[in-house]
Amino acid sequence: MMRIEIAGAGAGKTTNLAKKIVANHKKMDPSKYIYCVSYTNSSVEKISSMLKGYYDSIPNNIVVTTIHSFFYNELIKPFHYLLYEEHYSKVSNSTLPNKVQFRNSKLKNFRSKGYLHVDDFTKYAKYVVCGKSNDKKITKKKREKVKKFLSTYIGSVFVDEAQDIDKYTKEVLIELNNMNLFIEIIGDPNQDLRGHEQLDKLVKEYPDKVVYNNICLRSPQTHLDFSNLFISEYQRQYNEKKATGEINYVFQTDLNNVKGLCEDYDLAYIYQKNKYFNTQSPSKNELVYEEIKFLIDRYSPEIKYQNKVLQIASKITTYLFRYVNQGISVEKAINKIFPYGALLPKDYKGLEEVMYRSLGSDQENRIKISSIQSIKGLDEEKCLFVVTSQFIPYLKQDRNKDSIRMKSHLYVALTRAKSKLTILICKDVEEKYRKEDIMDLFDKYGITALS
């Protein structure tokens, strides 16, 4: 049985997912396992934290993991050799070339040495469950036995952030459904930043299995009225409390201190870096984030809920980089958060080293903000969305522009703020469009200039 829930930004997907897993666990055969899979470790941590609110410890037959770990540990590792006599005992997560021919060559080279790259996991999981077009009869017979065995211990599979599924994952989920497993798929096609479009295809193929959750617990109705213009009618959201908020725009060319404006907001983000703005690498920020999590666990063991630890670590990381971007030294920035004596000397030193490593030697003048990709899943009271020229055709609702990736980036950018959203119109927009036309565009939407 398959069920697909389409839920927009701020709909409380993680909270609802935890409730569904608990309800499913109560009525399920205790000898079977529930797998809850998502795409990032942070998402796995959040779901696990929510489940810990229902249990003293998560039951052994509820497994929360990344989708790649699920595919490798439950499908590829135990069964791929049985079916194809190809054994991959090692895993690689190294960076791959962008060009397709070089990328494929690198992946082939990994496989020849007994490595399977994580980018190959979904395809090889599909081979295990669905097969290849040239499979021999004996391989097909073996596969039926594999699927029968999987059915003996897998009871349910919950898929979070399903907008990120690729074509191979879609085929695996359909086959698991055909095996009479319970499959719950939760996601938002409007946040398909990778542009896979596979969740959309599932919705079209299984319309009778789809339910829509149109409630938004995050964004004010004034923000939703704007973001709803750029998504399908079925997925338009509303705030039950009819909360009002503030939304306005300002031109970069009208500002004397752009950096100061960015620092006044809890989140500032852009589609991609350009000659005016740079995006902080999520992997670099992650180093500091992980160090802060370690320090919280060491110095504040009384904080029992992992979700709370994640929130605090995220806030501290944001403020550390904000202070440094304001010109404060790394040492003083750390002391503003952790006054002298709050940490052991070795921990001060360790945090300093991680900060310096994250900052590197980049002394350029571009203003550092976040990418939209890196802030998906986050929300704050005040958000600053830097609109670049790529978005103008979509804001104009140009029917000739139909990139799912760009539409998704626009939607994510418009749905992060809990109270105030300011749209900063980048200089590159005025290099391509008349300022008066852009002002008329926002006036048409009832969005006023920042005073």
User: How far is residue 257's CA from residue 91's CA, in Å, rounded to a whole number?
Assistant: 48
Question: Nearest Cα to 220, choosing from 377, 374, 372, 382?
Answer: 382
pLDDT on residue 282: 46
Q: Tell me, what amino acid is at 391? A: F
Each residue's pLDDT tens digit, 279-296: 865 455 777 888 888 888
Question: Nearest Cα to 438, choosing from 403, 388, 404?
Answer: 388
Neighbours of 266 (CB within 10 A): 19
Alpha-carbon distance values, 197 to 66, 100, 109, 167, 191 (Å): 20, 20, 29, 9, 10
**Which is higher by pLDDT, 357 or 212?**
212
Structure tokens at 44: 């796995």
Computed over every residue of the chain, the mean pLDDT equals 91
Do 9 and 412 contact (CB within 8 A), yes or no? yes
CA angle 390, 415, 431 (to 5 degrees): 20
Phi, psi of 83 (to 5 degrees): -85, -40
Q: Which has the minimum average pLDDT: 230-234, 322-326, 339-343? A: 322-326
Confidence band for 363, pLDDT divided at 50, 70 and 90: very low
Global confidence as pTM: 0.79
Going across the sheet that includes 448-449, the strands are 277-279, 367-371, 267-270, 380-387, 417-425, 246-251, 448-449
User: How far is residue 191's CA from residue 193's CA, in Å, rounded to a whole number?
Assistant: 6
